[in-house]
Amino acid sequence: MIKEYIKSKGIALGHWMRHEIFYKKLISPGGIALLLLLALVCGYMSAKGFFFIPLAIGVLLIGLAVLYMCLFSPLHGYFLTTIITFFIFYPGHLIGQDLPIASSFDLLFYFLTLGAMLSKKVRLISTQNLFSTPISIVLMFNVAAFVLEAFNPNIPNISGWTTPVRRLFTLVLVYMVAYYLIDRYWKFRVFIHLWTILALLAGLYAIYQQYVGYLPGEMKYIMSQPGMFELLFQGGQFRKFSFFGDVVTYGIFSGSFGVMTLIFAINEKDKFKMRLYFFITIVLMLGMAYSGTRTTNIILPAGVALYGLTTIRNKTTLIAVFCSIMFFMFVLFAPINSNPTLNRIRTTFDSKEESLNVRSKNRHFIQPYMHYHPFGSGISTTGVEGTMYYPSHPLAGFPPDSGLLKLGLEMGWIGLFLHLLLNATILYQGIYYYFKMKNKKLKVYMVAILCGLFPYMVCQFSQVAIGQLPSALLFYSCMALIKRLKEFDEEGINLETEQEANTKPWQLLFK
């Protein structure tokens, strides 16, 4: 009898909690009481020194909420996952140590993909399939080559192959999910606005780090990582990484997205929005400079050059190119020698700079290995990964210092060729669509995306620029949206009169 009573009460309690959480969203006296009780318990545990228990409860609750959104509201889940991925390294910086949370990105996108497949709200365009595009075809060849590296005879096992291939499959899911979920123009606007806000926050925080300094937790994190202090403290000041995992990823992201906002500003007719985009561009370019990554110094010239070649007949293009050249000349030759940020930028173009010469010697030294190994040495056989997974490998510990060199060594010249072919295909498809499109606003978005992706391709020459979070999420999403923008144009959407276009996209998102 007692067992039956407990069982009946347990069922009633379960129904009550399900009703409060999923139907009333905790907006009720019972829900508020439950939250207050949880807050009191967490406060008591923290006061007793068990702070990790409330932290674990908080992470668990947030994780369950995010997974619920990914499964049952995939569009909201996609944007929420974007925000989480953007700040995924920041908690580790605050507590002063690395957290094993990077794999949560893969898990979130697995659930998000499942939610997108089950959602009936996703509008698929049957006449134009994503996987019939040149980008998709070449991307699949790259994925196939990566998978076949598991059978590379130069590696004794696949321990170093499993993690990179899992991340690659996740990025392919990003490519698919972004295309399927962002199927209306207002959703695309939310995508652009969200990334712009996130980029601005990262830029402002980098400026804060520059003039106020790192937080105590961040300094603890820097000092706890072997060799990080020597890497970041250059020219009498620290390089800045904002919310990101490293200075290189942040610098390349900030510069590349700054090119996009610059193009938005140049083509914006509304004066307030134009000034706002110019302000954001300045913030992002300052963040790029404060990262101290010399590779990023080529980003603005590369992005502006592609924009100039694509829209050379536009008067504003000529003005933008001229102003960019003048700014570039000022940075290089202005009689300002006391600024460590400017001095570090100028060393990029110094032929006597020691680190650049060492990298050049390393490239020439290892090139014969690539010539005689068309399939490469195997995934994760170079650099730090090589010493971790394959310490007896001939290339273990060899510093590639370049995304292209790393690809050439690990996947051979065949893998390097496929990667370069993918980059060329992205530019070809985007530029081809640009000249076929009729809507001017969509054309601005198209050329901005292309000019934002192009610097990543250029930076691969001297850094591992593509594949790091959160930049990889933006890169692969934009690859898919190149196709979606063309479909918007083909559908004949009148963006100036469409009701959705005149409504703030955030209102439609939370409608």
Higher pLDDT, 294 or 214: 214
Residue 6 has what pLDDT? 43
Closest CA to 478 of 447, 503, 506: 447
Residue 95 has what pLDDT? 80
Residue 445 neighbours by CB under 8 Å, 6+ apart = 188, 192, 485
506 band by pLDDT with thresholds 50, 70 and 90: low
Residue 24 has what pLDDT? 59
Least confident of 241-250, 403-412, 487-496: 487-496
Least confident of 119-128, 236-245, 294-303, 374-383: 119-128
Higher pLDDT, 400 or 456: 456
212 band by pLDDT with thresholds 50, 70 and 90: very high
Chain segment 435-454, per-residue pLDDT in tens: 999 999 999 999 999 999 99
What is the pairing mode between strands 237-238 and 233-234? antiparallel
- pLDDT surpasses 80 at 463: yes
Facing residues of 234 across strands? Answer: 237
Q: Residue 101 has which token pair?
A: 């949370």
333 band by pLDDT with thresholds 50, 70 and 90: low
Residue 69 has what pLDDT? 85
Distance CA 283, CA 368 (A): 43
| Angle at CA of residue 8, ends 6 and 12, nearest 5° | 115
Residue 325: half-sphere exposure toward Cβ, Cα within 13 Å: 8
- pLDDT surpasses 90 at 287: yes
* Average of per-residue pLDDT across 33-42: 69
Distance CA 421, CA 415 (A): 10
Higher pLDDT, 251 or 342: 251
Distance CA 504, CA 500 (A): 8
Cα-to-chain-centroid distance, residue 93: 18
| Alpha carbon distances (Å) from 456 to 91, 300, 467 | 26, 11, 10
Cα-to-chain-centroid distance, residue 448: 16
Amino acid identity at 248:
V
Distance CA 200, CA 285 (A): 11
10 band by pLDDT with thresholds 50, 70 and 90: very low
- Which H/E stretch holds residue 156? none
- Is there a contact between 254 and 287 (Cβ–Cβ < 8 Å)? yes
Residue 106 has what pLDDT? 87
DSSP string computed for 21-60 = IIISTT-SHHHHHHHHHHHHHHHHHHHTT-THHHHHHHHH
Domain locations along the chain = 2-50, 204-350+437-511
Q: Residue 204 has which token pair?
A: 């402002």
Distance CA 172, CA 74 (A): 17
| CA distance from start to end of the chain | 49
Distance CA 467, CA 477 (A): 12
* Average of per-residue pLDDT across 260-267: 94
The dihedral sign for the CA sequence 447, 453, 455, 461: negative
- pLDDT surpasses 80 at 180: yes
- Is there a contact between 70 and 111 (Cβ–Cβ < 8 Å)? yes
Residue 152 neighbours by CB under 8 Å, 6+ apart = 375, 376, 377, 378, 379
Distance CA 127, CA 111 (A): 27
Which single residue is written with the structure tokens 């790029």?
Answer: 288
Which single residue is written with the structure tokens 């407990």?
Answer: 6
Distance CA 196, CA 190 (A): 10
Chain segment 390-416, per-residue pLDDT in tens: 999 888 888 887 888 899 999 999 999
Give the number of other Cβ atoms within 10 Å of residue 341's Cβ. 17
130 band by pLDDT with thresholds 50, 70 and 90: confident
The dihedral sign for the CA sequence 454, 457, 460, 463: positive
3-state secondary structure of 214: coil
The dihedral sign for the CA sequence 497, 499, 501, 504: positive
170 band by pLDDT with thresholds 50, 70 and 90: very high
308 band by pLDDT with thresholds 50, 70 and 90: confident
Residue 217 has what pLDDT? 87
Residue 7 has what pLDDT? 45
Closest CA to 401 of 463, 466, 465: 463
Which single residue is written with the structure tokens 């195997």?
Answer: 378
Per-chain mean pLDDT for the chain: 82
Give the number of other Cβ atoms within 10 Å of residue 136's Cβ. 21
Residue 218 neighbours by CB under 8 Å, 6+ apart = 93, 94, 96, 209
Residue 283 has what pLDDT? 97
